[in-house]
Amino acid sequence: MKYLGNKTRIADFLSTNMKLGTRSGQKGLDLFCGTGSVSTLFKKAGISTVSNDLLACASSYTEARLLDRAPTPLKSLEEPKLEGFIWENYAESSGVSIFNDTIAKHIDGSRHSLELLRGSLPRSAYIYYLAQIIEAADFRSNIMGSYESFYKKGWRKQALVAWSLPALELINMNGTTSHHVYNMGAANLLGSVGGNYDFIYMDPPYNSRQYASVFHVLETICLADNPVVSGCVNKRADWPRSDFSSKRSAANAFKRIVSLASQRTDELFVSYSNEGILSTTELDTIIKSVFPKTQIFQQSYRRFKTNSRRKNAPTKVKEILINGTK
């Protein structure tokens, strides 16, 4: 998936500084898991995980990626076409050209067919097929990286690729690690899901971009709930807002989440950006209030651009990783 803040490009940086090679047999929490790039790093290192994200499309995709084995391919999901909610609201004929008409009908057809089969499928198979549909739709979207806009002239080459469901790359640990995935607010998970962790990893939003807004179409595909929509891109009316993405509330949100995390672990890792709402010094001070020993690691990497008009934007940004221990 084209997901903002995806950590695949800095996997080695995280693995090295979190010393994942020494953590086999441990239990870690990936509190803002996104599409599961870091959770899969943990699994590969022999770490059992609890993963969580506020977006259903992200938590579902992560759950699928953490399976040991894929179910039998279900080619029948690739065949149906239906003029459903996605076609009505996000296809070329609707005036919102996020998908071409044929792809939109395939998304509706595949999603409807999967729901008809849901009662007869084990959870693992259902979630895997759902992740395939999300991945296939995202690959063919006519966007630069955000579903808050779309190309007004022409189509990306990928948007015209014939519909098919891709195989997901899975890591088979033969049941030696366990993985549980939740779909809730980070503070709610720390307050309601019991147990302690050898370490907790947090990768919260760092700027004003609201993920629920940026990925609203994928959320609707995942939930298949035909929500009330409005605006120029038919955005969901019920999308949740994150306190971490507001200058007014980010500091207090961090203080709360770090305090809650301290009740579950003696070691915390926080990923952030040098362009974040909070400065590295501010964030380090908050972490030090409950995890007195901190280390700060940094790595530069190429910016992921979602707006080609930002010609004067820096081409490089820095990933900040703060490690706090008691």
Could you list the pLDDT tens digit for every one of the 326 residues in the chain? 888 878 888 999 999 999 999 999 999 999 999 999 999 999 999 999 999 999 999 999 999 999 999 999 999 999 999 999 999 999 999 999 999 999 999 999 999 999 999 999 999 999 999 999 999 999 999 998 899 999 998 999 999 999 999 999 999 999 999 999 999 999 999 999 989 999 999 999 999 999 999 999 999 999 999 999 999 999 999 989 999 999 999 999 999 999 999 999 999 999 999 999 999 999 999 999 999 999 999 999 776 554 444 555 566 789 999 999 99
> Does 218 fall in a domain?
yes
**Same domain assignment for residues 105 and 229:** yes
Whether 32 and 114 share a structural domain? no
User: 227 and 79, same structural domain?
Assistant: yes
Residues whose CB falls within 8 Å of the CB of residue 278, separated by 6 or more in sequence, listed in order: 206, 250, 251, 254, 272, 286
Question: Which residue among 241, 265, 290 closes a domain?
Answer: 241
Residue 255 domain boundaries: 1-56+176-205+248-326
Torsion of CA 213, 217, 219, 221, to 10 degrees: 170
Q: 234 to each of 30, 72, 215, 227, 244, how far by Cα in Å?
A: 31, 35, 12, 10, 24
Host H or E run for residue 181: strand 179-182
Per the CB < 8 A criterion, the answer to whether 82 and 105 are in contact is yes
- Give the rounded distance of the alpha carbon of 82 from its chain centre: 27
Query: Looking at the structure, do residues 125 and 218 belong to the same domain, yes or no?
Result: yes
- The answer to whether residues 82 and 222 belong to one domain is yes
As beta bridge partners, residue 200 has: 29, 268
| Structural domain ending residue among the three candidates 241, 261, 286 | 241
pTM over 0.75: yes
Based on the fold, state whether residues 194 and 303 are members of the same structural domain.
Answer: yes
33 belongs to a structural domain: yes
Instruction: Please say which residue of 241, 257, 288 terminates a domain.
Output: 241
**Interstrand relation of 293-302 and 316-325 (parallel, antiparallel or unpaired):** antiparallel
Position 290 scores a pLDDT of 97
Residue 214 CA to residue 35 CA, distance in Å, equals 14
Tell whether 220 is covered by a domain. Answer: yes
Number of domains making up the chain:
2
Query: Are 94 and 162 members of one domain?
Result: yes
127 and 274 belong to one structural domain: no
Q: CB–CB of 50/182 below 8 Å?
A: yes
Which CATH number does the domain housing residue 258 bear?
3.40.50.150
Region of 263 please: left (phi>0), alpha (psi -120 to 50) or beta: alpha
Residue 64 belongs to a domain: no
Q: Which residues pair with 269 in a beta bridge?
A: 201, 323
CA 174 – CA 172 distance, rounded (Å): 5
Tell me whether residue 273 is in a domain. Answer: yes
Structural contact between residues 161 and 169, judged by C-beta atoms closer than 8 angstroms: no
Check the CA dihedral 107-112-117-123 and report its sign.
Answer: positive
Instruction: Note whether 145 and 230 are same-domain residues.
Output: yes
Q: Which of 228, 106, 67, 256 is nearest to 114 (CA)?
A: 106
- Residue type for 279, please? S
Based on the domain organization, do 137 and 226 belong to the same domain? yes
Task: Say whether both 42 and 191 belong to one domain.
Answer: yes
In terms of domains, do 50 and 103 share one? no
d(CA 148, CA 177) in angstroms, rounded, equals 38
- Cα gap 94→188, rounded to integer Å: 38
| Structure-derived torsion over alpha carbons of residues 112, 118, 123, 125, reported in degrees to the nearest 10 | -60
Domain assignment of residue 65, yes or no = no
Q: By C-alpha distance, which of 6, 70, 69, 18 is closest to 45?
A: 18
